[in-house]
Amino acid sequence: MKDQIGKGSSETYIDPVVVKLIMDASCEVLGVQMKTDVKFTTIQPLQSMTGGSGTLYDIASVIGLVGNELIGSLAIGFPSATFLKVANRMMRETFTKIDKENADTAGEILNIISGVVRRNGRNHGYTFSSAIPNVIVGKEFELAPGVDHSGLIKLRADTDVGPFFLEFTMKKRPSEGD
């Protein structure tokens, strides 16, 4: 998996340190707050595209990543079966469908992941601004990365309650005068 980080088109910029920060934060957050062990099984650099990333979700959350070295966005997406089990574990309730009582769990998971990335990123010389996540709820929708991206990457994580995915785009922050 490590060999796949850093590859892409000539315009891509995939910072392996940031990728690892995000992966480690995801494992920590789901492992601790939701008692869900996470194993990343697939890492897929993507080419620039204007369509969807090819994975279908029932709920997702997206947050901006703006830092001293790079800018981009991070998304986490779940099929409903995985999401409901994760939400049930976090809140220790029993939800059978995604609704307003549990949907913001996706946002809070991403909120905590980004907070852990900010916290641990400082040890590697990265500073990120805090941001507010959005949550998207639907039925089998795809996420499409925005325009003007450089690096696109999709990670699949497997857990004992099903898979989820992280998708993020990043590009090197333009220096002053660019």
**Site of interaction with other proteins (CB under 8 A):** 28-29, 31-33, 35, 87, 90-93, 100-102, 104-105, 107-108, 111-112, 114-116, 118-119, 122, 130
Q: How far is the CB of 36 from other proteins (least distance, A)?
A: 11
| Local structure of 86: helix, strand or coil | helix
Q: Which is nearer to other proteins, 19 or 87 (CB)?
A: 87
Q: How far is the CB of 151 from other proteins (least distance, A)?
A: 24
Which residues are within 8 A (CB) of 178 and not within 5 positions of it... i.e. 6 or more apart?
none
Q: How far is the CB of 102 from other proteins (least distance, A)?
A: 7
Q: Which is nearer to other proteins, 34 or 143 (CB)?
A: 34
| Local structure of 8: helix, strand or coil | coil
133-145 burial string, b = 16+ CB within 10 Å, else e?
Answer: bebbbeeebebeb
Q: For 120, which DSSP code?
A: H
